[in-house]
Each structure stands twice: as structure tokens, then as C-alpha cells.
Amino acid sequence: LPKLTVWVVDRGLASAVTGPLDVLTVANSIWAHRATGKSQPLFTWRVESVSGAQVRTASGTPIDVDGPINPETRTDALLLAGIYADAGPTQVVKTVTALRPLHEVLRRQHERGTVIAANCTATFLLAEAGLLDRRPATTSWWLAQAFRQRYPLVDLRPGEMLTERDGLLCSGAITAYLNLALRLVEKFGGASLARSTARTMLIDTNRLSQAAYKILSVEAHEPHSDALVQRAQRRIEKRLEQTFSLPALAGELAVSERTLIRRFRRALQQTPLEYAQAQRIERAKYLLETTALALDTVCERVGYRDTGYFRHLFKRETGLSPKEFRQAFSRRQAPWRKAGR
DNA sequence: ATGCGGTGCCGCCAGA
DNA sequence: CATCTGGCGGCACCGC
């Protein structure tokens, strides 16, 4: 059974520790209800700090630890909780270099086959140890530039929520620890357990539908300051149920189609049609989750008249057919209760 | 699944 | 000179 070790540091984020542990706790409950023998929990863990003493997090919430970091510990996975970076990237780098003794420990654990999962700013620690060179990684998007400067050999993908290669997992901005923890559940407990856990905790289904295999692009949500594109976005969102027309959109905004497309791509790394399609599928997902509307109706409500084509698009975007999606995400009840009685 | 008419997108270029 | 825009042609692909 998987044994995990969580490393926490002073000024860390409490939720980056407690969040993943809550995920594991819920996973344990579901697993126990499924198993017939159910005497032991699936996941067990130890929380460790450098000094071995209680840690005070950024919000002031203290976190009890089980002991000091043991370099030789036998563990299946190491979870590195993010450090709060309110003073910017230089503070992160300073913290991470101060933890130099841990770099060698990380390298040894990696060679031993230990899965290492780093959230948010903790990915800097992995990079500092040299473990991410020529491997894909991600980090909080606002730290991407500093990261790239300091670790040019790392294949940084700031748009991705989660990356994984050779047992080295990185997750993006703070709350991506949920996805990171879910991935650990999936790795050690299977995809089905991970799905049930996510459903039970109401972890964002939009992120979830792609969490395991495909990654939601953070860049799509990055703020941009192009007023023209913003107005175009509003108009697209306002008329999702009508057929998309580029000439009409450009006309209303009093620019040429060529310019509109160009500005869109620069601001959102997307074309207007791609944006409209993504928004429509988003609306469709919402309708499938929260209503019992027939598929034909949903299809029509998001601007498509051809159900076959809509299904094709939906699957392309989400990886699931509309029916599968509704089945997976519209349940209200905790899955273990449903299965139990 | 497939076919097909229309069009959204991009490379290229000229002009502002 | 650098940056931006609009027009055009061709092709991919959108959507029925």
C-alpha cells in the first residue's frame, strides 16, 4: 500500500498541505467502501519539516509534523507543498537555494524510483536540484518568466495544469494541488477511484475532464488588455445560441476580419471560431451537468443544428461523449452511499 | 460514416 | 525604420 511523505516549510500555504491530504482521505473512504476486507486505509502518510518542529504557514495556521525530514526514508511518493510567494520570484529562489541540503536528497529519492510531486512554487525546488532538466514542467503562470530565466534547460510549459515525466510531477498555480493529488490517487488507486474522489469533492469538472490526460490551458484565462478582443469575447458569449459569423462580428466591431483574427490570436492564442466553439461546449457541459434537457435541445441551445456534428465537437473538446459526460458529472450523491445501500 | 458547399484562417503584400 | 491594418487567394475544415 502506498506510503506518502509530505514536506512542509515555514511560510508555506496551509491548503497546499491540507488540501491534498483531504483528497487522500476521501479516496481512502471510497476505497474502504469498495473493498470487502477494508481493514487498512489505502494511503498512509507522514508530514515532515526541516527542523521536525511544527510549521507556521503564511496565513498563521500552524501545521503539526510527524518529524524531521529523513533523507533515507522509504516512501512511494514525496509531496512538496508550495511556498507562498507574496514577495515575488526572488523570494522563491532565495527560499529554494536555502534548502540546498534537500537537493541531494531529492536526487537520491528520484533514482530510487520515488514519485515526486511538486505544487506551484515547489517546482522551483525540483528545478534547483536539476531534476527537471530536459523534462517537461509547469509552475504558477505568473512565475513562468523568472523560472525560465533561471532554469533554461527545463522544458517549461506554463500553460499546463499538470506535467509528468519519469515520476516527476509538477502542478501549476496554487489550487492545482487538487489535480496533483488526484493524479496521485489515480496513479496508486486507479482511474475509477480518482473519478469518484473528484466527483465527491466537487472538484471543478472542467479541469477534471482533462485532468488525467489532457491539460486545460491556463493561457486561455490569462488576462489580456486588448479592448477590441474583450468586446469581441462579450459578443460571442452573448449569442452562443446563434450561428457564428465572422463577417458579422467584425462588422459590429468596425474592424476587418483579418485584424480581428490577428488580435484574437495575439491576445488569446486562439481564433474567434475556436473561442466560440470552446464557449459553446462549455455551456453544453453546464447544461448537461445541471439540467435533464435532451441532447437535441442542448445541441440547439448552443448553436448547432446537427446533433452528429455537435457530438463530434463535444468529444473532441472533452474526450467524452455528451452521454458519458452527463453520466460522469451530474450525480449529486456521494458515490459510496449510492453503491452501499 | 460520408460527401460537399461555404467560409474561417493564414501567408503574403501594399499602404498608413 | 518598426508596427499596425486591410485586401486577396488558396486551402483546410466547419457544419449541414
Alpha helices in chain A (DSSP H): 14-34, 89-98, 100-111, 123-128, 144-150, 177-189, 191-201, 205-211, 227-238, 246-253, 257-268, 272-290, 295-301, 307-318, 322-329, 335-340
CA of A314 to C1' of B3 (A): 22
Strand A168-171 vs strand A115-119: parallel, antiparallel, or unpaired? Answer: parallel
The answer to whether some atom of strand B lies closer than 7 Å to the beta carbon of A244 is yes
Q: Which nucleotides of C are covered by protein (CB under 7 A)?
A: 4-8, 14-16
Q: State percent of chain A over pLDDT 70.
A: 88
User: Residue A84 burial by CB count (10 A; 0-12/13-18/19+): exposed, middle or buried?
Assistant: buried
Q: Does residue A137 register a pLDDT over 90?
A: no
Is the pLDDT higher at A147 or at A39?
A147
Phi, psi of A147 (to 5 degrees): -60, -45
Which chain B positions come under 7 Å from a protein C-beta?
1-2, 7-12
- Residue A217: band (very low, low, confident or very high) from pLDDT cuts 50, 70, 90: very low
What is the distance in angstroms measured between the alpha-carbon CA of A264 and the sugar C1' of C9?
22
Q: How confident is the model at residue A317 (pLDDT cuts 50, 70, 90)?
A: confident
Residue pair A9/A99 in contact (Cβ under 8 Å)? The answer is: yes
- What is the pLDDT at residue A56? 93
Q: Any idea which residue has 474526450 for its cell?
A: A319
A99 Cβ contact partners less than 8 Å away, ≥ 6 residues apart: A9, A50, A125, A128
Name every residue whose Cβ is closer than 8 Å to that of residue A189 and which is 6 or more positions away in sequence.
A2, A27, A31, A42, A43
Residue A340 pLDDT > 70: no
Inform me whether the pLDDT recorded for A57 exceeds 80. Answer: yes
Per-residue model confidence as pLDDT tens digits over A236-272: 999 999 999 999 999 999 999 999 999 999 998 899 9
**Distance of alpha carbon A28 from alpha carbon A16, whole angstroms:** 19
Nearest-CA residue relative to C1' of C15? A309
**Is the Cβ atom of A255 within 7 Å of strand B at any atom?**
no
Cα gap A177→A179, rounded to integer Å? 5
CA of A254 to C1' of C6 (A): 12
Higher-scoring residue by pLDDT: A193, A272: A272
pLDDT (0 to 100) of residue A172: 78
CB A130 within 7 Å, strand B: no
* Spacing of A249 CA from B7 C1' in Å: 14
d(CA A180, CA A102): 21
d(CA A151, CA A134): 10
Q: pLDDT value at position A17?
A: 95
Does the pLDDT of residue A309 top 70, yes or no?
yes
Ranges A115-119, A170-174, A198-202, A304-308: which has the least confidence: A170-174
Q: How far apart are CA A28 and CA A226, in angstroms?
A: 47
- Distance, in Å, from the CA atom of A31 to the CA atom of A196, rounded to the nearest integer, reads 10
Q: How confident is the model at residue A174 (pLDDT cuts 50, 70, 90)?
A: confident
A259 touches strand C (CB under 7 A): yes
Is A162's CB less than 7 Å from nucleic acid strand C? no
